A and B are shown apart, each in its own frame.
Chain A
Amino acid sequence: MSERTIDRPPPAPRRGALVRFFAYLRTDLRAALAFTYLILLVLLSLFAAVVAVHSPLAQTPDILSPPSAVHWLGTDDLGRDVFARLIHGAPMTLYASFLAVCVGLMIGLPTGLAAGYFGGWLDTVISRVIDTLLSFPSIVLAIAVTGALGIGLTNSMIAVGIVFSPNIARLIRIQTIIVKGELYVDAARTFGMGPARLIVVHIVPNAIQPVIVQVTLLLATALLSEASLSFLGLGVQPPQPSWGQMLARAYGYMEIAPEQMYAPGFAILCTALAFNALGESLRTLLDPTRRRSS
């Protein structure tokens, strides 16, 4: 072949990541809805004191009142404004979900990667520990860990994170084993790439995808776990509001005021759905073979 110039044609101007992101959102209604909802939730959490006119803790004489112009969503059994409690519960709920998933990732990812990449006795030991943890019913394990750490929202969510970690570890382990056998990993080894760089450059990007989807599903599960634990009195402590705790209180008055359950119930449902929808869209987006096509 004859010599040719190495000059490249000027590359097409790259649009900013934010612009591309919004362009993408326009093509995916589900992601757009979920994303908008979650942004709204975060904003509400940040400006809870401004949005909610009533205090979430102030008790009034009219208890279990139905929705009205003064109390948009009614009042609870202690006469507190449900709307205010719902809005003030949102940051608690989000904090709890993300904390649990972060703890789960911080424990699960490194152990799973190590087990999958290095194999041998390390894999055997880690796998047996994972099996052991998975053999406990998760809520029982969470209650036990919360009991050991002490009652409170942060502690109970750390407990939920510990309960999540074997799921994440197991997922990333098997993904790592699959990716480790790929030819491009062998190729990188022949270029003299060391294990640390191999894991960061090739293994994690190619193995992480199902974990990202799992994380969004776990965010939803964490939300429900927070609700369950607060319901059981292990999570958010009264009088602090949280959705799970609100549901727990409403449950007691199911016969008298069933509409009490709708507000926290739908809030939990919608947020869990939004996390799931976002995860599903993320999964599609992260698949390079589907990028740029269509």
Chain B
Amino acid sequence: MRTATAVPIITAHEVGIHFPVAGGRTLRAVDGVSLEVHRGETFGVIGESGSGKTTLGRALVCLERPAAGRVLHDGDDPYRLSAAALRRHRRDFQVVFQDPNAALDPRMTILRSVREPLDVAGELPRAERTRLALEMIERVGLNPEFADRYPHELSGGQKQRVCIARVLTLRPALIVCDEAVAALDVSIQADILNLLADLQREFGLTYVFITHNLGVVAHISDRIAVMYLGKIVELAATELIEARPLHPYTRALLSAEPVALPSHMRSHQRIVLHGELPSPVSPPSGCRFRTRCPMAVTRCMQDVPAWREVEPEHFCACHFAEDVGDAIVPQRPGGTP
């Protein structure tokens, strides 16, 4: 599916997003992130709360302007466009937010919300826009009778379907799914994930899937980036990450995934991380993960680990990525004990 030679649909180059905080200091929510998302793939971003993954997602669709670095869409910087051209351009890059309750205007009927992107575009007659919106409402599995209702009359899963229908009306090239299923019940999560997979096939969509749920991201993604405190610590194809995680944080995440087995039958020892995520206002020196890393040594305090391709198409930022790479036994259930 992937064509490595084509221009990536999104290129992030050393992107930094900074927020001023009290005391004149700066919160670096995203600090020097580089990645490429290719057309047609599903790119997973995983990290715990506060790792900057949502901010990164917002930057990818031009909702946050990077303070450092650049985000390129199809190789071009959208911020070099005129305001009007940017507004037209960004229709191709859509986002589905985590909280479907907040993402719909409570004063608009479902139909008006779904039709809104088409109304903004204003390229079609009104009847046609309504027809397309109703078509999308049906396509995401909602009864068209919902069209005249208000968001508060719908359940969370239904609202998320409305949000998906709404972005689909624009036929975007890429959708950032920012924890799109995190707020939903587990049974609804599966429905929405399957819907997203169907829609990807149907419309040839590219997804950037942001989540803290490893099960979700592994299920749906072609490649995964692991974020920790505003930086990407590991990036590789899903199978590669699952089979040979190089960064100790990735290993901890993998081992933290719940296993549907009684404890005495589990084959692996869980790596438990201690402590909290450090403040992104004053991140630890050297490697940012060192305060919670079971492998940390003095060197980790002094040198920032280089972001490098440890093995083909497998990037990692850990001083010991090369050393541990081969020694690591797959930690996932079903792997060799």
Residues of A at the B interface (CB closer than 8 Å) are 1, 4, 6, 8-9, 11, 182-184, 186-194, 197, 202, 205-206, 288-289, 291-292
- Chain A residues with Cβ below 8 Å from B91 are 190-192
A42 and B99 alpha carbons, distance in the complex (Å): 47
Asked if B166 contacts A187 (CB within 8 A), the reply is: yes
B43 at interface (Cβ–Cβ under 8 A)? no
Shortest distance between the CB of A23 and any CB in chain B (Å): 18
Partner among B97, B148, B198 whose Cβ is within 8 Å of the Cβ of A187: B97
Asked if A190 contacts B93 (CB within 8 A), the reply is: yes
Do A6 and B97 form a contact, CB below 8 Å, given A206-B105, A206-B107? no
B90 at interface (Cβ–Cβ under 8 A)? yes
Q: Which residue of B lies closest to A189 (CB)?
A: B63
A192 and B93 alpha carbons, distance in the complex (Å): 10
Q: Which residue of B lies closest to A187 (CB)?
A: B103
Do A289 and B106 form a contact, CB below 8 Å, given A6-B135, A186-B63, A192-B121? yes
- Chain B residues with Cβ below 8 Å from A197 are 120
Choose among B105, B144, B167 the residue with the greatest number of A CB atoms under 10 Å from its CB: B105
B102 at interface (Cβ–Cβ under 8 A)? yes
- Chain B residues with Cβ below 8 Å from A202 are 105
Q: Which residue of A lies closest to B132 (CB)?
A: A6
A186 and B107 alpha carbons, distance in the complex (Å): 16
- Chain A residues with Cβ below 8 Å from B153 are 292
Q: Which residue of A lies closest to B163 (CB)?
A: A187
Asked if B95 contacts A8 (CB within 8 A), the reply is: no
Q: Which residue of B lies closest to A291 (CB)?
A: B150
Asked if B94 contacts A190 (CB within 8 A), the reply is: yes
- Chain A residues with Cβ below 8 Å from B139 are 1
Partner among B90, B106, B107, B145 whose Cβ is within 8 Å of the Cβ of A192: B90
- Chain A residues with Cβ below 8 Å from B170 are 191
Asked if B102 contacts A192 (CB within 8 A), the reply is: no
Beyond A187-B97, A190-B94, A192-B91, list 19 extra A-B contacts (CB 8 Å).
A1-B141, A6-B131, A8-B147, A11-B148, A183-B97, A184-B102, A184-B105, A184-B113, A186-B58, A186-B63, A186-B97, A187-B163, A187-B166, A191-B91, A192-B89, A194-B87, A205-B105, A205-B107, A288-B106
Shortest distance between the CB of B73 and any CB in chain A (Å): 13
Show 28 residue pairs from A and B whose CB-CB distance is below 8 angstroms, ordered by the A residue. Answer: A1-B139, A1-B141, A4-B138, A8-B134, A8-B144, A9-B145, A11-B148, A184-B103, A186-B58, A186-B95, A187-B97, A187-B163, A189-B63, A190-B61, A190-B91, A190-B93, A190-B167, A191-B121, A192-B117, A193-B87, A194-B83, A194-B84, A194-B87, A202-B105, A205-B105, A206-B106, A206-B107, A292-B153
Question: CB within 8 Å of A: which of B144-164?
Answer: 144-145, 147-148, 150, 152-153, 163
Asked if B117 contacts A191 (CB within 8 A), the reply is: yes
Kindly count the residue-residue contacts between A and B in the assembled complex, taking CB atoms under 8 Å apart: 86
B104 at interface (Cβ–Cβ under 8 A)? yes
Asked if B120 contacts A183 (CB within 8 A), the reply is: no
A182 and B97 alpha carbons, distance in the complex (Å): 11
Asked if A192 contacts B105 (CB within 8 A), the reply is: no
Shortest distance between the CB of A22 and any CB in chain B (Å): 22
10 closest A-B pairs (Cβ-Cβ)? A192-B87, A191-B117, A183-B102, A183-B103, A184-B105, A191-B120, A193-B120, A289-B152, A183-B97, A205-B107
- Chain B residues with Cβ below 8 Å from A190 are 61-63, 90-91, 93-95, 167
B126 at interface (Cβ–Cβ under 8 A)? no
Partner among B89, B120, B163 whose Cβ is within 8 Å of the Cβ of A188: B120
B25 at interface (Cβ–Cβ under 8 A)? no
Question: CB within 8 Å of A: which of B218-234?
Answer: none
Asked if B116 contacts A192 (CB within 8 A), the reply is: no
Shortest distance between the CB of A283 and any CB in chain B (Å): 14
